[in-house]
Amino acid sequence: MQLYSLILFIVLSIPILFYSWPHLRNRRSHGFYRFFIFESELLLILLQVAFWFSDPFSLPQLVSWCLLSLSLVTAIHGFYILHKYGKPVGDFEATTKLVKDGAYRYIRHPLYASLLFLGWGAFLKNITWLTLLLVLVSTAACFMTAKIEEAECIEKFGEEYDVYMQSTKMFIPFLF
């Protein structure tokens, strides 16, 4: 990692740390594990930036761009639907209504799915042992974050969320 990448990592980690700080003291909060998604993916992207456009028509690059595009579309759609139907109070995550529209009709965590697509898309830019480790950390943190958030949602929305869980997938529709 070059010096400018390290400096950029530190600078960009500051807002992530600031946003995550209230959750970092509580391992039972979904925000605790989400911090590790953000940090591992930031580091992954910074390590891969030199390879972003190299060998643009290779299979890994083409799959990478598909995943990165899917990540962007999923994130925009997920934020929009969450804001429109979730009736958030304050923070966009503080929804007052269980959202079951749009992508949420098929998957419970479109925003975490977008982070998974981002991580794996960035990983494919240049496959190394270090980038594999980072994408696996990010993936594991996504699963932990989603599991803990689901427990929080059951507490918040009760049986309605439990029924919703049984009719949807976690990240990818029609799989598992």
DSSP state of 53: T
Q: For 104-126, what is the mean pLDDT?
A: 97
Q: Give the C-alpha separation, 69 to 33, whole Å.
A: 24
Percent of the chain with pLDDT over 70: 98
Of 118, 35, 16, 103, give the one whose Cα is nearest residue 72: 118
The dihedral through the CA atoms of 134, 137, 142, 143 has a sign that is positive
* pLDDT at residue 31, rounded to an integer: 85
pLDDT band at 23 (very low <50, low <70, confident <90, very high): confident
**What whole-number distance in Å separates Cα of residue 103 and Cα of residue 40?**
25
The domain locations on the chain are: 3-167
Q: Which residue has the tokens 């010096």?
A: 3
Q: Does the global pTM surpass 0.95?
A: no
Tokens linked to 110:
């479109």
